Chains A and B, each alone.
Chain A
Amino acid sequence: MDFGFSQEQEMLRATARKFLEHECTSTFVRARMDEPAGVTDDFWAKLAEQGWLGLVFPEEYGGSRLGFVDLTVLMEEMGRCVMPGPFFSTVLLGGLTILEAGSPAQRKEWLPKLAAGQAKATLALTEPNARWDAAGVTATATEGKGGFALSGTKLFVPDAHLADVIVVVARTAEAKTPEDGVSLFLVPKGVKGLEVKLLPTMDQTRKLCEVTLKDAAVPAGALLGGKGGAWSALARVIQRATIALCGEMCGGAQRVLDMTTEYAKIRVAFGKPIGTYQGVKHKAADMLVDVENAKSLTYYAAWAADENSPETALATSMAKAYVSDAYRKVSAAGIQLHGGIGFTWEHDLHLYFKRAKASEFTFGDATHHREKVAQLIKL
C-alpha cells in the first residue's frame, strides 16, 4: 500500500504551481471576472501547450491519458489560484462526456480540437428544477426526418456562451424509470433555436448560462451514444467531474489556510502577533484538520476512479459531502481571522469564499451527498 503521490505527480504539481503563480495572478483573475469571456486566447493557448486540456484524454485524441489522481494534483493547483475560464466545462464536462458516450468518429471530431485549445465545450444538464438526477431531465428531443428537434430550458450551464459545442441532455422517451429515455446531443453553437444567455453570478470567476432550446434542429448524427440509454455514461461523467471539483476545492481551501496562517504570524494586536492567541490558534487548527480530511477523501475517490473500483460512487459522495462543508467553513474562517481586511473587495479572500459557495452546490451539496452515502451503505 502506498497512499501518497509519486515523484512524477509531485513534479506536475511543481510545474503547475510555477506556471499558475506566474500566469494566473490575482490581477489576471480580477480582469477576467469583469469580462464575459473569463479567459484570454493567450492563456488558453498556454494551457493547451502545457498539455493540460488533454490530460485525461487518450493519446489517439491528442491527450496524454493520465489518471484522476494526476488530474487531482492539477485541479488542486488551479483551485489554489481560483483559476477562471472554461477549463472545467471543456475538459471535464463537454470533453469527458464526448469521451465516455461518443462514437469513435465523434471523439475524433471533437477531442483533438479540445485538447489543442481550438474548440471549447460544455454540458447542459441541469434545468430550473435544479436536480442532479435523471428525473431532473425534462428537456425533450423529438425525432423527425433526418434528425431531432430539441426543446427546453437548461440552467446553470457553465461557459455555454464560450462553447463551440454544447452537449445537451434531453429526453427522447418517457419510460418506466427516469434513467431510461435520457439522450445526449452535440449541439454546435449558432444552431437555429438555440439561445444562450450569460447570467450574472455571485462567483464572477465562474460563468453560468441559461440555455434555451426552441425546436433546435440537429441531424441524426448529433446523437451522442445510444438513444435513450445515455444516463449511465452521464452518471460516470458527473462522478468523475465531481472528484475533479473536489480536488479544485481542496486546493482553494489549502490556499486560504496558507494566507491565514501567514497573516496570523505578522498581524500584531495587543503587542503580539494574533497567531499567538489561542482564539486564533484553535480556529487555524480546525482549518488544517478540515483541509487535510478533505484531501484524504478526495485522493481516495480519485484513486478509486482510476481503479474503476466498485467503491467509487461511495468514495465520491463521501468526498463531495465532506469537501463542500470543509471549503465553506475554511474560507469563512479565513475571512474571520483576517478581520476587516478579509471583508474587502481588495483582498483575495472573497474570491475563495464565493468559489467555495458556488462549488458547494455544483453536483450536489453536502446534504445531497450524505443522502447518497446513506443509500449506498444501505441505511
Chain B
Amino acid sequence: MDFSLTPDQETFRQTLRAWLKGNIPREWKHVGSSEIPRVEAYDLLKRWQNSLFDAGFIGLTWPKEYGGRGLTFMEELILQEEMAFAKAPPILNVLGVGMAGPTIIAYGTEAQKKRYPAKILSCEEIWCQGYSEPNAGSDLAALQTRAVKDGEHWVINGQKVWTSFAQVADWMMLLARTDPSAPKHRGITYFLLDMKLPGVTVKPLRQITGEAEFNEVFFDNVRVHESQVLGDVNAGWQVGITTLMYERLTLGFALQTRLRIALESLIELGRRMEKHGRAATKEPVLRQKIAQLWIDTECLRVTGARAITKLLRGEMPGPEASAGKMVWVETHQRLQELAMDIEGPYAQLWKGSPWAIDGGVWQHSFLRSRANSIEGGTTEIQKNIIAERVLGLPKD
C-alpha cells in the first residue's frame, strides 16, 4: 500500500493548485454550494468549464486525439481533490463529460470520435440523456420509444422524461426500440440525437424545488441519419450500460468532490448557528452527526482509492461502483437533513426572505437531494445490482 504520488503527479497537483487559485470565478461564492448545477448558474458554469478546457484540466483520462490529455485516473483523482480543496464550481456539461464522451470513445466510429468528444469537454455542445420514459424507469429495458428504418434514416416516435439539461442541450444520448419482436434487452439501439431536429419538443417539468431543471422530451417523426447510431443496431443496451458504468465511476469522483465541499460548508454553518446557547458544532448530538458525516465522506474517498487501484492495475471497474453511488446518496441526503437540523426553525424560510440563512441555499439543496436516490438508478436498483452481481444472489 502506498498513497504517495510520483514527481510528475506532484507537479501536476502544484500546477493545478496554482491555476485554481487565480481562475475560480469571483461571483461563484454568491451562488452557493449545491452539488448540482443550478439553472440560474448555467452561464457561469459554462464559462467555467470552458476555461478548464482551455487550461487542459478536463477530460484528463480521454485520449489526446479526441481532446483529452491521455493521463490516468490518478490525475483525475488529484484533479477532483484539488477542486474540493479550492471549493471550485461544478462543470455544466456533467452528462456529456461523465457519460456521453466516454461511451462515444468506447463505441464510436472514428468519425464520431473526431466529431463529438472535444466539443463536450469545451462545453461548446451540451448533452442530455434520453433513457427514462413514463413507463420505463428502473425497468429501463421496457422503454417504448420507437425507431423505424426509412432509407438512410431512422424515424423516431415516443417520449422521454426526467431529462435534465434538455432545455439547453445540443445533443441527446437516446435509447430507442429498433426491434420490438426481439427480447426486450436485444431490440434497443443507441442514437446520438441532434436536439435541433424537426419534431423534437422539450417541455419543462417543474420539480420539487420550484424550478424546471428537468424536462419531458417528445419525438414526432424525428428523422435521424443512420450514421448517428452509436455501436451496432440492436446492441444499444450494452452501450447504454457502459454509459451508466462510467456515470457511476467518473461522476462518482466529481460527486465526492461536491460532498466534501458541502461538508465543509455545513461545518461552517454549524459554527455560526446557535443551539441552546452554544455553537451547533458543540451541541453533543449534532456534533456526533457531523463527525459521522466526516467519517463517511472520508470513507468514500478511501473506498474510491481502492477502486482506482484496481483500474491502475488494469482491472475493470466492477459492479462495486453501484455501492459507491448508493453510499454517496445516503451520505449526501443525510448531510442535507443535518443542515436543516442545524438551521432549526430557520429551515422553514425560503430564498427571498430577509431572515433566510445563506439566502436559502440549503433549503434548495435539501429538496434537490431527494432526487439523488432516484436519478442514475434508484437505490433499490443499486441494491439489486450489488446483491445479484457482487454477491451472486439469484435473479427473480
A interface list, Cβ under 8 A from B: 1-6, 69, 257, 261, 264-265, 272-273, 275-278, 280-282, 284-286, 288-289, 292-293, 296-297, 299-300, 302-303, 306-307, 318, 321-322, 367, 370-371, 373-374, 377, 379
14 contacts between A and B (CB under 8 A): A2-B2, A2-B309, A3-B2, A284-B387, A284-B393, A285-B391, A289-B386, A293-B299, A306-B1, A318-B299, A322-B295, A370-B287, A370-B291, A374-B287
Q: Which of chain B's residues have a CB closer than 8 A to the CB of A273?
A: 393-394
Binding-face segment, B110-118, B139-147, B225-233, B319-327: B319-327
A-B contact count (CB 8 A): 148
Given A282-B380, A370-B291, A373-B294; A3-B387 close (CB under 8 Å):
no
Q: Which of chain B's residues have a CB closer than 8 A to the CB of A282?
A: 380, 383-384, 387
What are the nearest 3 A-B pairs in CB distance?
A281-B387, A275-B393, A285-B383
Q: Choose among B288, B302, B386 the residue that contacts A297 (Cβ–Cβ < 8 A).
A: B302
A288 touches B391 (CB 8 A): yes
B295 touches A321 (CB 8 A): yes
A297 touches B295 (CB 8 A): yes
B1 touches A5 (CB 8 A): yes
Complex CA distance for A277 and B299, rounded to whole angstroms: 29
* Chain B nearest Cβ from A24, distance in angstroms: 25
* Chain A nearest Cβ from B175, distance in angstroms: 25
Identify whether the interface residues of A are mostly helix, strand, loop, or mixed.
helix
A3 touches B305 (CB 8 A): yes
Complex CA distance for A307 and B392, rounded to whole angstroms: 37
Given A4-B309, A300-B302; A367-B392 close (CB under 8 Å):
no
Complex CA distance for A151 and B313, rounded to whole angstroms: 57
B387 touches A1 (CB 8 A): no
A296 touches B306 (CB 8 A): yes
Q: Which of chain A's residues have a CB closer than 8 A to the CB of B267?
A: 377, 379
- Whether, in the assembled complex, B390 has its beta carbon less than 8 Å from a beta carbon of chain A, the answer is yes
Given A299-B1, A367-B288; A4-B310 close (CB under 8 Å):
yes
* Chain B nearest Cβ from A177, distance in angstroms: 22
Q: Choose among A257, A265, A272, A374 the residue that contacts B291 (Cβ–Cβ < 8 A).
A: A374
Q: Which of chain A's residues have a CB closer than 8 A to the CB of B312?
A: 1-2
Q: Choose among B287, B309, B388 the residue that contacts A371 (Cβ–Cβ < 8 A).
A: B287
Complex CA distance for A277 and B5, rounded to whole angstroms: 45
Q: Which residue of A lies closest to B4 (CB)?
A: A1
Identify whether the interface residues of B are mostly helix, strand, loop, or mixed.
helix
* Chain B nearest Cβ from A169, distance in angstroms: 27
Q: Which residue of B lies closest to A5 (CB)?
A: B1
A281 touches B310 (CB 8 A): no
Complex CA distance for A26 and B9, rounded to whole angstroms: 49
Q: Categorize the interface residue count of chain B.
A: 35 or more
Interface centre among B291, B303, B320, B323 (most CB of A within 10 A): B291
Given A318-B295, A370-B292; A285-B287 close (CB under 8 Å):
no
Q: Which of chain B's residues have a CB closer than 8 A to the CB of A379?
A: 267, 270, 281-282, 287, 290-291
Known: A282-B380, A292-B323, A374-B281. 17 other contacts (CB 8 A): A3-B2, A265-B394, A276-B394, A281-B384, A285-B323, A285-B326, A292-B303, A297-B295, A297-B302, A303-B1, A322-B296, A371-B288, A373-B291, A374-B287, A374-B290, A379-B281, A379-B287
Q: Choose among A275, A292, A306, A321 the residue that contacts B387 (Cβ–Cβ < 8 A).
A: A275
Q: Which residue of B lies closest to A304 (CB)?
A: B3
* Chain B nearest Cβ from A9, distance in angstroms: 9
A1 touches B308 (CB 8 A): yes
Complex CA distance for A297 and B297, rounded to whole angstroms: 11
- Whether, in the assembled complex, B26 has its beta carbon less than 8 Å from a beta carbon of chain A, the answer is no
- Whether, in the assembled complex, B396 has its beta carbon less than 8 Å from a beta carbon of chain A, the answer is yes
Complex CA distance for A272 and B394, rounded to whole angstroms: 9
B393 touches A296 (CB 8 A): no
Complex CA distance for A112 and B167, rounded to whole angstroms: 73
A278 touches B295 (CB 8 A): no
A1 touches B74 (CB 8 A): yes
A1 touches B393 (CB 8 A): no
Complex CA distance for A296 and B388, rounded to whole angstroms: 22
B313 touches A4 (CB 8 A): yes
- Whether, in the assembled complex, B298 has its beta carbon less than 8 Å from a beta carbon of chain A, the answer is yes
Complex CA distance for A292 and B327, rounded to whole angstroms: 11
A285 touches B295 (CB 8 A): no
Complex CA distance for A296 and B306, rounded to whole angstroms: 7
* Chain B nearest Cβ from A205, distance in angstroms: 27
* Chain A nearest Cβ from B80, distance in angstroms: 13
- Whether, in the assembled complex, B21 has its beta carbon less than 8 Å from a beta carbon of chain A, the answer is no
Given A1-B308, A281-B393, A285-B391; A293-B288 close (CB under 8 Å):
no
